[in-house]
Every structure is written in structure tokens, then in C-alpha cells.
């Protein structure tokens, strides 16, 4: 039996600790199958729509390769390629896509859009990032932690930087569900909303995770097994860079901050893309304008032995494969993963 069958994957809070653990463990299993060249075409003959309102490298590539490895056909539908949003409503698009495709990935702005797609399409919908949540990234991130530490419960992950964005929300919520202690180090004006905090603290009561949300960056990073950051301005945000950079510079991941964890083996995570050098158009412009070598993370730490950012990025594909296979085709989930 597979109780994931036909479900959408819209946000972390819709799933129990056991269910999220299954998706993580199944992703680790699928990674081994891929490494050993063992076929796993659970979605043979299926068609998958990849609907993108925002840009993407990892999520788009991961969904494309995962679909193909699973025996399905992926079709990319960019915001300028289809009528969506301009001439056609979300509801009508959902009905049409649902009548032709077996599953739909959506990346875009509003969480309501992905929720409506799921409600109206009649097929599983997977959230490839909205302004609020980035749940497929979570399966890859916690899978990476498990690969490295061989456990999840009791670990401490500190996220520093913009604590109000999709990544901060998702890390806080996923850690709270799974029993991973989450520290958020952010200026008060950029801390998670009360609504997100309340949901996370409710989950933490059940899992035993310790949650700490503070503007004291030193306190936030103490004892961290993993340090995590993200861009200071997210896709689609219209903010004053001057103010944002001033606010977030004390929260940059650099070698000094890394030392403050008090641990030798703290690992570094970042969902990517990252402004760690001046080799991107935006990074170069910002770095020169503000006389900085890097923004949220220094190049030294990004490239250090502690950094697992590219392993984490590669794991996106296995994680997405796990989510698609579980909700659309894989026939069996062991009972230990049921509530
Ligand atoms: N981490 C992540 O979602 O990357 P992309 O924006 O490239 O998909
Ligand atoms: N917070 C970032 C995440 C990118 C994967 C954004 O939304 O742009």
C-alpha cells in the first residue's frame, strides 16, 4: 500500500514526521539505484508538466532528469510560452493540464496558485517554490544532513540572513516536524512571521525540536552542526538593496562566524544560487556598488571543505524523484512510515 498515492506536495506542514522521513529515505535509496545503474521506471508512460513563473536551474533540471529516469515525459511550460496568467485563469489552466498530464510541477509567486492548481487539476501537484515555501528543497536538504551525520533528530541547523523568505519558513517548519533544532539568526524586521512561528512551535512540541529565533547572530550559531544561508533578496522581491545589505551584513557566513559555532565539523549549506564572488552580473554590480567581495557567504567558506552545497544541489534530483514516484507511481510504502 502507498498512502502518498494521488497526493500533492504543496507545503511541509501537510506531512507527518514519518512521511517526510519516508521521502528522505526513499530519495537516499533512489540515489543508490541511480549510482548502480539499476532501472527504476515507476512512472513509465506518464506525462509531467513543468510550469515555471520564475527562473530556475536546479529545480527545472531536477524535475526534467527525475521524470526521464522514472520513465516519464517532462514538458517545460514557461510563463511566456502558455496563456497562463495572461489570457487564462489558474482554474482553467489547471483543468486543461490535468486532463492531459499525470502530474504538474509549479514554481511561482503565490502559494494560492499552487493550492488552486492542486484543487482543480485532479492530479498530483508539486510545489517547486513559491514566495512562502520551498518543500522539494527540504527533502534534499535533510537528505544531505542525513547522508553526512547518519541521523537527523537532535542535530542543530542554524539559518542566518533573511528569515522571512521561503527558505527560512521551510527550514523552520521541516526541522520542527522532524525534531531537528532550528536556530534562525536574523534582524527583528526579517524574522519569520508570527503565523509561521506559531505553526512551527506547535510542531516542535510534538517532535521535541528546540527552535530559537534571535537577532543575536553569535547565539544563533553556537553549537550548530550545519550553517545555512540564502540570498538576501529573493526572486520577485522589490526592496531597497541599501537597507537590506546594511541589515544583513552582520549575518554573512564568513570564516569568523563559522568559528563561532565552537565546532570543528560544522557543515555549510545553501540552496543556491549564491552571491559568493563577483562572477555573476548581479553579484558583480552589487559587490562593486557596496565594495563587498561577496554578499551572504564569502567565497572562502563557500569553497571550504565544510561546504556541501554542490552535494546538496545534486540531491535535489533524487529528492524530487522520491516525491514524484511516491505520489504518482511507486506501489509500496513500508508500514513503519505510517502514523
Ligand atoms: N535551489 C533552487 O531552487 O535553485 P533554482 O532556483 O535554480 O531552481
Ligand atoms: N529565497 C530564494 C530561494 C531560491 C532557491 C528565492 O526565492 O529567490
CB-based contacts of 68-71 (< 8 A; 24+ apart in sequence): 69/34, 69/40, 69/41, 69/321, 70/40, 70/41, 70/42, 70/43, 70/44, 70/46, 70/321, 70/324, 70/325, 70/329, 71/41, 71/42, 71/43, 71/44, 71/45, 71/46
Q: Is residue 19 part of a domain?
A: yes
Query: In terms of domains, do 166 and 217 share one?
Result: yes
**Beta bridge pairs of residue 77:** 51
Active site residue 137: yes
Q: State mean pLDDT over 109-128.
A: 98
Active site residue 134: yes
* pLDDT tens readout for residues 213-235: 999 999 999 999 999 999 999 99
Query: In terms of domains, do 299 and 321 share one?
Result: no
CA distances for 35 relative to 39, 326, 329, angstroms: 10, 20, 21
Active site residue 230: yes
In which element (H, E) is residue 119 found?
helix 111-121
- b/e map 130-148, b = 16+ CB within 10 Å: bbbbbbbbbbbbbbbbbbb
pLDDT class of 285 with cuts at 50, 70, 90: confident
Query: In terms of domains, do 288 and 179 share one?
Result: yes
Rounded percentage of the chain residues whose pLDDT exceeds 90: 90
Query: In terms of domains, do 46 and 177 share one?
Result: no
Mean pLDDT of the chain: 96
Q: Is residue 7 part of a domain?
A: no
* Omega within 30 of 0 (cis) for the link into 96: no
Residue 329 sits in a domain whose CATH number is: 3.40.50.1370
Query: In terms of domains, do 198 and 296 share one?
Result: yes
Measured distance CA(282)–CA(241) in Å, rounded: 12
| Cα distance from N-terminal residue to C-terminal residue, the chain | 14
Active site residue 316: yes
Query: In terms of domains, do 31 and 162 share one?
Result: no
Q: Is residue 204 part of a domain?
A: yes
Q: Is residue 310 part of a domain?
A: no
Residue 334 has pLDDT above 80, yes or no: no
The per-residue pLDDT for 72 is 98
Of 110, 230, 238, 283, the residue with max ligand 2 atoms within 8 A of its CB, to mutate for a pocket test, comes to 230
Query: In terms of domains, do 301 and 169 share one?
Result: yes
Q: Atom 7, ligand 1: which residue's CA is nearest?
A: 57
Rounded percentage of the chain residues whose pLDDT exceeds 70: 99
Residue 339 has pLDDT above 90, yes or no: no
Q: Atom 3, ligand 1: which residue's CA is nearest?
A: 59
166 is in an annotated binding site: yes
Q: Is the CB of 56 under 6 A from ligand 1?
A: yes
Query: In terms of domains, do 198 and 247 share one?
Result: yes
CB 301 within 8 A of CB 255: yes
CB 139 within 8 A of CB 23: yes
**How remote is the CA of residue 103 from the centroid of ligand 1, in Å?**
20
* pLDDT tens readout for residues 150-196: 999 999 999 999 999 999 999 999 999 999 999 999 999 999 999 99
Active site residue 107: yes
Structural domain total, the chain: 2
136 is in an annotated binding site: yes
Q: Which residue has the higher pLDDT, 338 or 194?
A: 194
Measured distance CA(267)–CA(75) in Å, rounded: 36
Q: State mean pLDDT over 66-70.
A: 98
Q: Which atom of ligand 2 is nearest to the CA of 131?
A: 7
331 is in an annotated binding site: no
- Chain centroid to CA 76: 20
58 is in an annotated binding site: yes
Cα Rg, the chain, nearest whole Å: 19
ipTM confidence score: 0.99
Measured distance CA(331)–CA(160) in Å, rounded: 40
Q: Is residue 166 part of a domain?
A: yes
Query: In terms of domains, do 190 and 286 share one?
Result: yes
Pick the catalytic residue from 183, 271, 318, 330. 271
Query: In terms of domains, do 30 and 113 share one?
Result: yes
The per-residue pLDDT for 283 is 82
Q: Which domain holds residue 199?
A: 156-224+226-265+267-305
Q: Is the CB of 186 under 6 A from ligand 1?
A: no
Q: Is the CB of 137 under 6 A from ligand 1?
A: yes
pLDDT class of 331 with cuts at 50, 70, 90: low
Query: In terms of domains, do 204 and 247 share one?
Result: yes
Query: In terms of domains, do 235 and 215 share one?
Result: yes
The pTM of this model reads 0.97
* pLDDT tens readout for residues 90-104: 999 999 999 999 999
Amino acid at each position: 500500500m502507498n498512502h502518498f498515492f494521488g497526493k500533492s506536495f504543496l507545503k511541509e506542514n501537510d506531512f507527518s514526521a514519518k512521511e517526510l522521513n519516508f521521502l528522505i529515505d526513499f530519495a537516499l535509496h533512489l540515489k543508490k539505484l541511480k549510482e548502480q545503474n539499476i532501472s527504476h521506471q515507476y512512472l513509465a508512460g506518464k506525462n509531467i508538466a513543468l510550469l515555471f513563473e520564475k527562473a530556475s536551474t536546479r529545480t527545472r533540471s531536477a524535475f526534467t532528469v527525475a521524470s526521464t529516469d522514472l520513465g516519464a515525459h517532462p514538458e517545460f511550460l514557461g510563463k511566456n510560452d502558455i496563456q497562463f496568467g495572461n489570457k487564462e485563469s489558474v482554474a482553467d489552466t489547471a483543468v486543461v493540464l490535468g486532463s492531459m498530464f499525470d502530474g504538474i510541477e509549479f514554481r511561482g509567486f503565490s502559494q494560492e496558485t499552487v493550492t488552486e492548481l492542486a484543487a482543480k487539476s485532479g492530479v498530483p501537484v508539486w510545489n517547486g517554490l513559491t514566495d512562502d515555501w520551498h518543500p522539494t528543497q527540504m527533502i534534499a536538504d535533510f537528505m544531505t544532513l542525513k547522508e553526512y551525520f547518519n541521523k537527523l533528530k537532535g542535530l542543530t541547523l542554524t539559518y542566518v540572513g533573511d528569515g522571512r523568505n521561503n527558505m527560512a519558513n521551510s527550514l523552520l517548519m521541516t526541522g520542527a516536524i522532524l525534531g531537528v533544532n532550528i536556530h534562525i539568526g536574523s534582524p527583528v524586521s526579517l524574522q519569520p512571521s508570527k503565523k509561521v512561528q506559531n505553526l512551527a512551535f506547535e510542531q516542535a512540541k510534538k517532535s521535541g525540536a528546540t527552535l530559537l529565533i534571535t537577532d543575536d547572530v553569535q547565539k544563533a550559531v553556537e553549537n550548530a552542526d550545519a550553517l545555512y544561508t540564502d540570498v538576501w533578496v529573493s526572486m520577485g522581491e522589490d526592496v531597497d538593496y541599501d537597507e537590506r545589505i546594511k541589515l544583513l551584513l552582520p549575518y554573512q557566513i564568513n570564516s569568523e562566524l563559522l568559528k563561532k559555532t565552537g565546532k570543528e565539523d560544522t557543515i555549510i549549506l545553501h540552496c543556491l544560487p549564491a552571491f559568493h564572488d563577483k562572477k555573476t552580473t548581479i553579484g558583480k554590480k552589487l559587490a562593486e556598488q557596496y565594495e563587498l567581495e561577496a554578499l551572504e557567504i564569502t567565497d572562502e567558506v563557500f569553497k571550504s571543505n565544510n561546504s556541501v552545497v554542490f552535494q546538496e544541489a545534486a540531491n535535489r534530483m533524487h529528492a524530487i524523484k522520491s516525491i514524484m514516484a511516491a505520489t504518482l507511481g511507486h506501489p509500496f510504502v513500508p508500514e513503519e512510515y505510517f502514523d
